[in-house]
Amino acid sequence: PLIFVLNGPNLNLLGTRQPEIYGSETLDDLEALCAETADALDLAIDFRQSNIEGELISWVQEARSVAAGIIINPAGYSHTSIALMDALLASDLPVVEVHLSNIHRRESFRHLSYVSKAAQGVICGLGPHGYALALRGIAGILAQAEQ
């Protein structure tokens, strides 16, 4: 099964962007970790990043016809985008939301994620490892759905 792993705005700057919050690993490192984890779980991934809200929405719409699940770190759009939430709700796919940082420990404007309303599970605060856990979570959801 193919899983879309979607990353929102500013995540292209990982490694240099506030490393005290987001760590020193780059987006490429994150992609490599996801590819390795997916391989071990017999999943394929399509790993993408965009700074553009509409592009993320179009990718979610695309996933409907080609993917078995979506992992998404919506970054700043988590806290603002009803449109991205709506796209995920319309996808009818299992969705796992990931944040590198623990959004609940940070400023109060980060405590609400609209995207969480469309997510089966949410992982935050575990850095890149959260993406590996999200892939495991999706694999578990798909295995259960097959039974």
Write out the binding residues for substrate.
73, 79, 86, 100-101, 110
Which residue from 47, 56, 96, 91 is spatially nearest to 76, judged by alpha carbons?
56
- Least distance in Å: CB of 13 to ligand DQA? 9
For 110, the 3-state DSSP assignment is: helix
Query: Which residue ranges make up the site for ligand DQA (CB under 6 A)?
Result: 10, 73, 75-76, 78, 99-101, 103, 110
- Least distance in Å: CB of 123 to ligand DQA? 10
DSSP string for 3-39: EEEEE-TTGGGTTTS-HHHH-S--HHHHHHHHHHHHH
* Numbered residues of the known binding site: 73, 79, 86, 100-101, 110
CB atoms inside a 10 Å sphere around CB 138: 27
Catalytic residues: 22, 99
For helices 82-91 and 53-66, the axis angle rounded to 10 degrees is 0
- Least distance in Å: CB of 22 to ligand DQA? 6
| Cβ-based nearer residue to ligand DQA, 34 or 68 | 34
